[in-house]
Amino acid sequence: MAIAATTLVAAPAPTKITPSKDLIGFSIGEDYKMANYTQISALLKKWETETDRMKVVSIGNTAEGRPQYMAIITSPENHKKLDYYREISVKLAHAGLSEDEAHKLSKEGKAVVWIDGGLHATETVNSQSLAEMVYQMVSRTDDETMRFLDDVILLMAVPNPDGVELVANWYMREEDVTKRTFQTLPRLYHKYVGHDNNRDSITMNMPETTNQNRVLFIDWIPQIMHNVHQTGPAGTVIFIPPFRDPFNYVFDPMIPVGIEQVGMAMHARLVSKGMGGSAMRSAAPYSTWWNGGMRTATYFHNQIGLLTEIIGGPTPAAIPLIADKQLATGDWPLPIKPQVWRYRQSIDYMIEVERAVMDYASRNRETLLFNIYGMGQRSIDRGSKDSWTVTPKRINALTTAAKAAAGDEPAGGRGRRGGAGGGGGGGGDNPFFTPALPTELYEKVLNDPAYRDPRGYVISADQDDFPTAIKFVNVLL
């Protein structure tokens, strides 16, 4: 009998995890209900006592003095060797190992993934989806969840606890649910910087940024980091990478490629489940250029930093009808019908998107670990010999040099890169026709010694304000 067959599979003992409704009086994603940070912390603390899959640690205090909690979620077996897996993750990110050693450690290690929720506190889907994701990861016993737990160590934290407390309390203070709103919030949702808490990741003036950066860049160095925001482009549900061009060419090329891979896995999961309304690239202005953000700072540490921007909130809203978003394109492959949109639908989207990240990390565990080593190793190599970063200015220099070399003749007269146009004779109107330049200009212009990348920076002790120089070095560290 089919029933006997299924019950014979060695299923993990079901763990009884108390649902949020029994602890805080409502389910995550209920209309007109938002859990504050005190409630989210209470959920995490309670669930920690009911599972051997999760440890909850404080990573430091917030600007208003609250403990900033981080959930560490993985299988009970992995928890027993947590420090060992953490060391592997850090060692590979630091590189400086032989390839053989790196392969061995990648094989042994576990993928480390960071997912947060609630950096911008009025973007109210994310702190709640964090609680829901934690709940599902500690309570579900399906094969996929068990595989995630075996292969991946998941770190989840609320980046702005004070803001989530303020915003939820302000919204929930009205008895009449139709009066509940975030519009009238009386002050910034971070004590000092409000929304600019996402501009602090390279200067670390705020305690929360310091706490997070210690986890992200010193203690754990996750291979994937997912920073969650709102809102999605009009007529869609969620923006998910890849990002539009130009990508930031100072990064290792495995950064944009890695973002494409994981981003596409996220889109694919939604599309395959018929969950329309995901959009990428040209659908939004997001890019890899702003250096001070929580996500973008990770690129300088060779981490795959993901951004999502979803619609929704506790007060039901609507997806409007936007003409161009109804025509499927490569950048929004599955259009969605205009409709009333509820909080729980956004939570469900976030869970699928986060499970897509977990699935990618699980299936590509060893490759992710080895790739962060590879990026680190290439960075060390670049510092050990001459190297050049090609920028738009250097390309301008190249075409200028080509014109000069050709006298007054257009450089295109010298030849062409074959094949791409597929016939059609001259290149005049063919957008795939690119005139080739004299090859020797590569060395002369793009490898001009005057434009070498720096190999290091010397900070002299002999300067007027040395204490500030030390502070600067410590921020860089």
Strand pairing category for 238-243 and 152-157:
unpaired
Strand partners, 19: none
Considering the complex, state which of residue 195 and residue 214 has its C-beta at the smaller distance from Zn ion.
Answer: 195
Tell me the β-bridge partners of 224. Answer: 113, 304
* Residue 362, CB-side half-sphere exposure with 13 Å CA sphere: 19
Considering the complex, what minimum distance in angstroms separates the CB of residue 179 from Zn ion? 25
Cβ(31)–Cβ(346) under 8 Å?
Answer: no
In 3D space, the residue among 110, 217, 113 whose CA is nearest the CA of residue 157 turns out to be: 113
In the complex, the smallest distance separating the C-beta of residue 362 from Zn ion, rounded to whole angstroms, is 28
Q: Give the shortest CB-194-to-Zn ion separation in angstroms.
A: 11
Element (H, E) at 304: strand 304-310
For residue 226, state whether it binds Zn ion (rule: CB under 5 A). no
Cβ distance to Zn ion smaller for residue 263 or 376: 263
Least separation in angstroms between residue 229's CB and Zn ion is 3
The CB-of-317 to Zn ion minimum distance in angstroms stands at 17
Helix-, strand-, coil-residue percentages of the chain, each rounded to 5 = 45, 15, 40
Interface with Zn ion by CB under 5 A: which range of 114-122, 377-385, 451-459, 465-473? 114-122
Q: Which is nearer to Zn ion, 78 or 227 (CB)?
A: 227
Cα–Cα distance measured from residue 302 to residue 308, given in angstroms and rounded to the nearest whole number: 19
Angle between helices 143-151 and 125-139 (to 10 degrees): 100
Closest to Zn ion by CB, 145 vs 227, is: 227
Pairing of strands 238-243, 278-281: parallel
Among 33, 91, 140, 229, binds Zn ion (CB under 5 A): 229
Sort residue 424 into left (φ over 0), alpha (ψ -120 to 50) or beta: left
For Zn ion, give the closer residue by CB, 289 or 466. Answer: 289
How many residues line the site for Zn ion (CB under 5 A)? Answer: 3
Residue with tokens 């250097």: 394
* Piece of the chain touching Zn ion by CB under 5 A; list 96-104, 224-232, 320-328, 447-455: 224-232
> CB of residue 309 vs Zn ion: minimum separation in angstroms?
7
Parallel/antiparallel/unpaired status of strands 67-73 and 152-157: antiparallel
CB 385 within 8 Å of CB 257: no
Where does this chain touch Zn ion (CB under 5 A) — which range of 121-129, 283-291, 295-303, 343-351? 121-129
Per-residue binding letters, 289-318, with Zn ion (x by CB under 5 A) = ------------------------------
212 vs 223, which CB is nearer to Zn ion? Answer: 212
Q: Return the range that interacts with Zn ion (CB under 5 A); candidates 49-57, 60-68, 229-237, 413-421.
A: 229-237
Nearest CB to Zn ion, comparing residues 232 and 242: 232
Nearer to Zn ion, 120 or 325 (CB): 120
CB of 189 to Zn ion, least distance (A): 11
State in angstroms the smallest separation of the CB of 120 from Zn ion.
3
Q: Which is nearer to Zn ion, 137 or 310 (CB)?
A: 310
337 phi and psi angles, rounded to 5 deg:
-70, 140
Q: Which residue is it, tokens 């290149």?
A: 427
Residue 56, beta-bridge partner list:
71
- Binding Zn ion by CB under 5 A: which of 53, 120, 267, 365? 120
- Which of these segments, 53-61, 176-184, 225-233, 315-323, binds Zn ion (CB under 5 A)? 225-233
Report the alpha-carbon distance of residue 368 to residue 373 in Å, rounded: 9
Separation of alpha carbons 352 and 237, rounded Å: 13
**Nearest distance from C-beta of residue 249 to Zn ion, angstroms:** 26
Contact set with Zn ion (CB under 5 A): 120, 123, 229
